[in-house]
Amino acid sequence: MANLKEIRTRISSVEKTKQVTAAMKMVSAAKLKKAQDAIVQIRPYADKLQEILGSLSGSLSDSEENIYGGERKTDKVLLVAITSNKGLCGAFNSNVFKRVNELARGVYKEQNEKGSLHVLAIGKQGYEILRKSLNVIGEHNEVYNELNFKNVSAIASSVMQDFVAGTYDKVELVYNRFKNAGVQILTNEQFLPVVQSAEDNDTQSEYIFEPNQEEILENLIPKSLKTQFFGAILDSIASEHGARMTSMHKATDNASDLIQDLKLHYNQARQAAITNEILEIVSGANALAN
């Protein structure tokens, strides 16, 4: 059994750790509220734009003007991995790493072996890990320093230009979609080319396009894609704060349990030490008496 000084030192260390994790939990809870409000506000707008986008893309599926739609032979693929700049958020980042590697070894195994599978990392954690096993062509850690639609749309525009230029035939986003503070849904969704769902096809006749579909295409589709990209990052940020809050809550509870166990060991060790001292005193007194 460790001596009393070692146990006291460890108790002090765990108590300081508990204070840190409790503070981080409170900070994440405050940030989560703001991030949750942002994603709740943008989702209806983004979903409606996506619905119109699918309908518009379907109506122009045979048009050469639809530069963001149409099926291509998938030779060159870009995976956009959205993670965080910081850790201590449980499995938030590692889930994205696993999904990207699963796609690289499964669906896009052929492209990966040919070297035509690239990864764009948004977040320091994703860049540091994924570059060890995959071809990471760039990083955008700075986007979290001043997060706004303008900065995110610049990244989305670059990806869209690469798609139009033929640098990539398919672009997918891999991120955590926010559900609530305790649940994040790992998601990989197709960003480009724009696909038309069956629901979009059914509602296509409900829209009257003015002035014409081609002119709307030049404005609405890029805006919708940028909004989708921005929404994915907002989802990821809200998920990050939720995951960190949950992780720090568990860490604080574990620290409390550990402190109780250490105090129990400390009292047992102290009691044993006192008992030994009493026995030595009694033994010494008996020896003098004899």
Taking only the tens place, the pLDDT of each residue in 217-237 is: 777 888 889 999 999 999 999
What is the per-residue burial (b if ≥16 Cβ within 10 Å, else e) of 158-167?
Answer: ebbebbeeee
User: Which is catalytic among the residues 53, 60, 79, 89?
Assistant: 89
- Cβ contact 119:135 at 8 Å: yes
- Which domains, and CATH codes, for the chain? 55-243 (3.40.1380.10)
CB-side neighbour CA atoms (13 Å) of 12: 6
Cα dihedral 175, 179, 185, 188 sign:
negative
User: What pLDDT is attached to residue 104?
Assistant: 95
User: What pLDDT is attached to residue 68?
Assistant: 82
The answer to whether 102 is a known catalytic residue is no
Q: pTM of the predicted model, to two decimals?
A: 0.85
Low-confidence residues of the chain: pLDDT under 70: 1-2, 53-66, 196-207, 209, 213
- Cβ contact 174:126 at 8 Å: no
User: What pLDDT is attached to residue 198?
Assistant: 52
86's tokens: 């910081």
User: What pLDDT is attached to residue 286?
Assistant: 82
Q: Bridge-partner residues for 175, per DSSP?
A: 187
The DSSP secondary-structure symbol of 11 reads H
